[in-house]
């Protein structure tokens, strides 16, 4: 409960993602996602908010790049290969 002179935090506007108690909601702007491409094969990327990753849409590549502190880490060496098991 807020003390004297303090306001309670306002809820996010309707339609906006609600952060979990830890504040771990991936925020990638749509305009940025439209221009990002897989560094390995240059295919478009799609956001996987649950895993906090950007995933390559190419069936041959399919690498998943981590997003840390809302910053995509587009390094092939840092990517996870979901097809590897």
Q: Is the pLDDT of residue 18 over 50?
A: no
* pLDDT digit string, tens, across residues 23-82: 556 888 999 999 999 999 999 999 999 999 999 999 999 999 999 999 999 999 999 999
Q: Domain coordinates of the chain in residue numbers?
A: 30-84
Q: Roughly how many angstroms between the first and final C-alpha of the chain, as a whole number? A: 47
Write down the H helix ranges in the chain: 30-35
Write down the H helix ranges in 23-71: 30-35
Please tell me the pTM assigned to this model: 0.69
| CATH assignment of 30-84, among 1.10.10.1100, 3.60.15.10, 1.10.1060.10, 2.20.25.10 | 2.20.25.10
Distances (CA, A) of 36 to 44, 48, 57: 7, 14, 12
């Amino acid at each position: 409960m807020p003390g004297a002179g303090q306001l309670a935090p306002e809820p996010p506007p309707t339609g906006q993602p609600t952060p979990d108690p830890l504040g771990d909601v991936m925020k990638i702007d749509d305009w940025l996602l439209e221009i990002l491409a897989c560094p390995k094969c240059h295919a478009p990327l799609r956001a996987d908010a649950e895993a906090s990753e950007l995933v390559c849409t190419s069936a041959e590549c399919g690498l998943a790049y981590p997003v840390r502190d809302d910053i995509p880490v587009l390094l092939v060496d840092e990517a996870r290969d979901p097809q590897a098991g």
